[in-house]
Each structure stands twice: as structure tokens, then as C-alpha cells.
Structure 1
Amino acid sequence: MSGTKKSKHVVVLCHPEPDSFNAAVAAKYCAVVRESGQQAVLRDLYRMKFDPILQGNERPGSATFHQSPHVAHELDIIADAAFLVFVYPIWFGTPPAMLKGYVDRVLGSDFSFRAVKRRDNKSRLAGTHLLSLTSSGTSQMWLDEQGAWQSLVTVFDHYLERAFSMASTEHVHFSSIVDDLSERFFGQYMQEVLEAAHKSCSIVREDVSAGECTAYDPALDRQVEPSEDF
């Protein structure tokens, strides 16, 4: 582990609509975490106008490598997170391009493919838990039949866990999310988010007891905002 983590959950939301199902998932997760006495920091990529395009000089190892202030700001936010939570819709079998850009530009900013290949455990995310909360308009069965589900879990969840020496990964998926989703199913899904958040908080408390995390002090909390638009 790169250092002791704080009892902080960084929730990275990636959906263009501010009133989307995914936005409701992110809001619910953050609310439950805060009610549990832990810290939740929301990074809404579309509201932040995050630029997902990786420039040539942003690649680690490049002779002209330059880390932008925006990326450095994001790295500071996630560096001491006990949980990194991705909230996004599955589009064409993969995460939205903006989230992949966040991985490329932020997570990979100071950690090259060479470091991944040699299993370097000095990543800033070493020891962080990864949780994905995703949605799709199709059924889980359909994703399985297309091979999309297993591919996504393999190349995104488990790859990131191993590449950055993360402590664990878990994926909670909500299928058949449509515009006219009934209140009953919406409430059921929000209950699943609540349970996932409680589970995450329980893991953090266990890590605190083991000395792998420091307890969250609300008196030291502050609202984290983007340094400026990307």
C-alpha cells in the first residue's frame, strides 16, 4: 500500500444528463456514506467539463511529459481515497469515452504501462477499493449472451484492480433502465445502492481497525471543487 488511506469515498459519475438514473445512484451512495459518518466526494465529469482527450505530452515516460494542474488536482483527490466508485451507463458494451479518458489522463498520469507490466505497487491507488455501479437499457441476460458483461468485468474492473494494486473490486449492475422505469423498481434499485454503500462503509471500518485507513474527521472536511474547467 502506498500509504494510509482516509475514510473517503471518491465517487466518479459519468452521465451527460444531470437528472439521470446514474446521477440518482451517485447521490444516494454519497448520502448513505455521509450518514454513516464517512466522507464522500462527488466528481461529476460532465458537470466538470472534464476533457477526456489524452495529449501526447501527458503520457508518462514521454520526453516532453507535462502533468496539467487539472489532472494533478484530481490525483490529489483520489490519492487518499479508501474507495473509488465509478458510476456510469454501459454504452455499446463499454464505459462512456469520458470515463475511459479519466482513467487514461488521471489514473495513468503518473503510472506508465511499464509500471503496470512490472507489477509496481507504488501506484497512488494501491490499497484502494474499487466499486462500479453501472446501468444498461438491456437485461443482464442479454449482456451475458453478447459476451459484453464478462469482457467489461475482465478488461475494466479486474484489469484496473491488478494494474494499480487496488485492494478489491466489486460490480453492482442495474439492468433494463428505461425512461419510464416504475417507482417500484427505482425504489428497489436505490435499496441496492444503500446496501452497497453500507457494505463499503463496513469495509472501511474494518480497514480503520486494521490500521490501513484513518478515521474521518468531519471537522477537517471541506468541499472539493474542480480547480477550473477542464
Structure 2
Amino acid sequence: MASNDPGAAPLHVVILCHPDDNSFNASVARAYCDAVEKHGHRAILRDLYAMNFNPVLRREERPGPAFRRFPDVTDELAILADAVAFVLVYPIWFGTPPAMMKGYVERVLASAATAQDVQAAAAKGVLTGKVMISFTSSAAREVWLNLQGQVNGLRSCFDHYIKHAFALRMVRHVHYDEIVDGVDAGFVRQYLSDVRMEAGKVIRELADASARAAAG
């Protein structure tokens, strides 16, 4: 639930979308949570598969006179309300995020947003003014994905679109390639160390932004 305590530690919400809770993606999500908590921040992990999240946007959830927000979305928005940073963790499947992650964006993060709001960068919601970082993985090598235009395309159509549509302050995307069964454990340790370093960067950027705001 949202905290009303102005002295509460900054909150990071990590949204994980992978069917295997022993996956590399799950390890990334846990590493990020552990890192921010060691820095004195709070972290909440939302495992969409473990939650059995329903990604299907219902007719009533589209903006309009009959708009209705369903209880699962209301509950999720209450959890997200105080977040200063959003972290998306997912694999790239066939060039795009998994359907469940896309559904989370449509039903929760974009709840009640109209096309006009999106075009005007006026879709105010839980993301507005916040930081978002995405950690993605692929079995294919990144050089091959780049030849297909997939990673840059994903950053353009997903990350930067979301930043503009919902007035995020900053987005960043970190991708790990050749994540397959039997991947070298040394590489995994290095990747998870990178995740912890990225968490530290986010925390420093949040602190810098707070200092600038306080200075007027």
C-alpha cells in the first residue's frame, strides 16, 4: 500500500515478467531489490506470473463514459503510488516484451490514459516525473538483434514512447544477450554485479535530483 510517511525511504518498484522463478530475469530482479535495500531505499517486487496477473484489457477499461477500473488495477496503483523508480525486468520474445508485460503497461501504468493525453505528454499517472530502468535479456546475441533492428526498435517503441506518453523524467535500458541454459556462471555473476551498479546509479541520480529541487 502507499505510504503516507514523508520520512519513508524512497521506493523502487520492480516489475518482473518471466514464467520461471529461477530464471536469469528473476535473479536480476532480486539483485536490484537487494542492492537498493542495502543503500537504505525500499523495494517491492511484483512478479507478474506469480501474481497470475491478467494482461487482457477489457472493453470497460478503455477511456470513455463507461470507463471502469477493476479492483486488481486499483490495488496495483495503490502499491505503485509512492514509487520514485520503476524497474521493468523481462526477456525479449520475438522482438517484443512478453504479452503479460505489455498488458501490465496497458491496464495499470496507462490506466485511463486517452490518445489525446498520450500525444500531448499529459497522461498523468503513477509514472509522471519518475525514473524507469529496463533490464532485458535475449538468447540471441545483441549484434544479431541489432542487425534486425530489434533492440533499438524496442527502445524506441517501448521505452521512449512510455517516457513521452507518461512524462517520465528519465529512462534507461540495459540488455544482456546470449542468456541460454548453461550460460557460464562467471558471466552471470558479472551481469548481476552490473545490475547492482545500475541500482547505485539510479539512487545517486535520485539524490542529485532531490538536491536540485531543494535548491530551487
TM-score greater than 0.5 by the shorter chain? yes
* 2:54 aligned counterpart, secondary structure: coil
Q: Residue 53 of structure 2 aligns to which amino acid in structure 1? A: F
Correspondence for 2:54: 51
Q: Residue 10 of structure 1 aligns to which amino acid in structure 2? A: V
The answer as to whether partners of 1:7 and 1:204 remain within 8 angstroms in 2 is no
1:54-92: CA deviations, max 9, x gaps?
00001122x321101110111122232111100000000
Displacement, 1:211? 4.0
Unaligned runs of 5+ in 2: 1-5
> Is 1:157 aligned to 2:159, yes or no?
yes
Displacement, 1:121? 5.8
Correspondence for 2:16: 13
1:136-194: CA deviations, max 9, x gaps?
00111011001111110000000000000000110011100011011111111111101
Correspondence for 1:110: 112
* 2:83 aligned counterpart, secondary structure: coil
Correspondence for 1:37: 40
**Which of 144, 147, 151 is the aligned partner of 1:145?**
147
For these two proteins, the number of residue pairs brought into alignment is 208
* 1:88 aligned counterpart, secondary structure: strand
Correspondence for 1:228: none
Correspondence for 1:210: 212
**Structure 1 CA distance, aligned partners of 2:136 and 2:119?**
28
Q: Residue 22 of structure 1 aligns to which amino acid in structure 2? A: N
Highest RCO, 1 vs 2 (Cα 8 Å, sep ≥ 6): 1
Q: Residue 54 of structure 1 aligns to which amino acid in structure 2? A: L
TM-score by length of 2: 0.92
**Structure 1 CA distance, aligned partners of 2:72 and 2:111?**
11
**Structure 2 CA distance, aligned partners of 1:110 and 1:76?**
15
* Map 1:164-183 → 2, pairs under 5 A: 164-183=166-185
The answer as to whether partners of 2:110 and 2:125 remain within 8 angstroms in 1 is no
Correspondence for 1:136: 138
Displacement, 1:6? 6.6
Q: Residue 168 of structure 1 aligns to which amino acid in structure 2? A: M
TM-score by length of 1: 0.86
Displacement, 1:122? 3.0
The answer as to whether partners of 1:11 and 1:41 remain within 8 angstroms in 2 is yes
**Structure 2 CA distance, aligned partners of 1:31 and 1:6?**
14
Q: Residue 36 of structure 2 aligns to which amino acid in structure 1? A: V
Q: Percent identity?
A: 44
* 1:200 aligned counterpart, secondary structure: helix
**Structure 2 CA distance, aligned partners of 1:79 and 1:161?**
17
**Structure 1 CA distance, aligned partners of 2:121 and 2:9?**
24
**Structure 2 CA distance, aligned partners of 1:153 and 1:6?**
30
Correspondence for 1:218: none
* 1:201 aligned counterpart, secondary structure: helix
Q: Residue 16 of structure 1 aligns to which amino acid in structure 2? A: P
